[in-house]
Amino acid sequence: MLNPLARLRDARASNPSGATVPVFAGDVQDVCAPLDPKAPPVAALVELALPVERPGAQIRVPGAHLDKVIELASKKAN
């Protein structure tokens, strides 16, 4: 079973050059929770994901912000 960070990585890998990437709101919320909420890419993704009432709902997020959040979360995990 994949964890939320792995699912975000897979979503980005399936659309590496896309301006936006479809991801699950709950995965974004889970991955961003331990990160600095003042970091611009984290704040941007949280702003998109938090209003969603169902964590299983798909949202489209900017690919550049997703790349940075994946990088920050990967560093924090190590």
Give residue-wise pLDDT tens across range 32-42: 999 999 999 99
pLDDT in tens, 14-56: 999 999 999 999 999 999 999 999 999 999 999 999 988 888 9
How many Cβ atoms sit within 10 Å of the Cβ of residue 56? Answer: 9
pLDDT of 78 strictly over 90: no
The span from the CA of 57 to the CA of 23, in Å, is: 8
Amino acid in the structure at residue 48: L
Nearest Cα neighbor of 69 from 8, 1, 2 is 8
Q: In this predicted model, which residue has the larger pLDDT, 47 or 77?
A: 47
Alpha helices in 1-78 (DSSP H): 4-14, 25-32, 40-49, 63-77
pLDDT value at residue 19 = 95
pLDDT at 3 over 80: yes
- Find tokens 């936006």 and name the residue: 20
